[in-house]
Amino acid sequence: MTQEPEVTTVSEKGQVVIPQALRKEMGIKPKTKFLVFGRGNTLIMKRLELPDIKHEWEEVFRMMDRKELQLTQKEVQAEVEAGRRERRNRKR
């Protein structure tokens, strides 16, 4: 991680540029979403990890095709949620 602090400026529209070195180091690309927390004179930004819903549904349908399953929407949703929990547990 970068040891030296970087300086940036807020634009007229309230936009802040994340310095290039930090974007490269952290793999920040356009359209990356962040949660922003503020307290006193401190701002903290945390990358917001959104699940890839399209990929999850494609995987569910592939599993169904392989097993020739007829699942209800409720059963499919339960499987998606179980997969998300499993992925979150692996990241820990």
Proportion of the chain above pLDDT 90, given as a percent:
40
pTM exceeds cut of 0.75: no
Domain ranges (residues) in the chain: 1-48, 53-91
pLDDT at 79: 83
Q: What is the DSSP string of 16-69?
A: BPPPHHHHHHHT--TT--EEEEEETTEEEEEE-----HHHHHHHHHHHHHHHT-
Mean pLDDT throughout 16-30? 92
The single-letter code of the amino acid at 36 is: V
Taking each helix axis from N to C end, the angle separating 53-67 and 73-91, rounded to the nearest 10 degrees, works out to 120
The per-residue b/e assignment along 10-24, b for 16 or more CB within 10 angstroms, e otherwise, is: eeeeeeeeeeeeeee
Residue-wise pLDDT for 46-87, tens only, equals 998 877 788 888 887 887 777 776 777 788 888 888 888 888
CATH number of 1-48: 2.10.260.10
